[in-house]
Structure 1
């Protein structure tokens, strides 16, 4: 009896994560505001921009888009994995991956998104190399390589763990 009550209590505690996902929705809205500001700034400055400035503006928009996508991945996959299943049949345009991603897939998607965001930051730094110190550029490269290395190690450990479950 006590054990069953404790298990129900622990199982119900997963709902304490729901406000975290709601907060991420608000952060997505904040990112949208910054994206609209970036678009406005980008469009207004196109006539006087150099080719590099245009490329940097586009990369900034791509960076914001990847970050927004990362937030969406965390919201839906995290909610589905840790809180409650979402009835996908009620949504005609529900992406297939959202109901099929497990925690391992979520980790890999997150790290892949982080690596992509880091790569864009590094590319932006290379495009603006005249205005960035060698030390700053070195740190961009090191941080990016750490993310790439972390992704490789995570993928390898998940593969090893998956292989050992199959035996």
Structure 2
């Protein structure tokens, strides 16, 4: 029976590698977002002479939005891989290794995720306010409501995380 238990535990432990292709897929998503970024910057430069100030600001905010999402994907890929699949031991001495790599736990990862979602939502809301003439009051109200929901969710999560940390 002990042998069966050991085999089962080994199978469970090894199953973490099922997440490997997921992190590879996120790396491919970075490439897709890079193409989206290139398209956005191309449109921004193509319209530079005819665009209004508001349209240029919306274009730049779109670039910032894509950059935030790409940064978030990198954090999720590295932290998720190191927390749930395998340590990147060969990269500990690499000169370009980010300082946070290997130090972000699951709780930190969730806080960064909710913080990024709030930031991305805020940028989308700002873009909507820059284009307020083309949106209905109902649409804007929904956007504000969703943003406030994300904001309070993040604050409540951070508060719960802080309370849980004080008990240790």
Q: C-alpha root-mean-square deviation of aligned residues, in Å?
A: 0.9
Structure 2: how far apart are the matches of 1:149 and 1:12? 38
Kindly report structure 1 stretches of 4+ aligned residues shifted beyond 4 Å: none
Correspondence 1:12-161 to 2 at 5 A: 12-87=14-89, 88-161=91-164
**Bigger mean CA deviation after superposition, 87-96 or 12-21:** 87-96
Paired residues, number: 165
Aligned-pair CA distance for 1:90: 4.5
What does the per-residue CA deviation read over 1:97-156, in whole Å, with 9 as the maximum and x for residues that have no partner? 111100000000011011000000000001111111111101110110111011011111
Aligned-pair CA distance for 1:89: 2.5
Structure 2: how far apart are the matches of 1:8 and 1:47? 63
Structure 2: how far apart are the matches of 1:93 and 1:27? 22
Aligned partner of residue 48 in structure 1, secondary structure: coil
Which structure shows the higher helix fraction? 1
Structure 1: how far apart are the matches of 2:141 and 2:52? 25
Unaligned runs of 5+ in 1: none
Unaligned runs of 5+ in 2: none
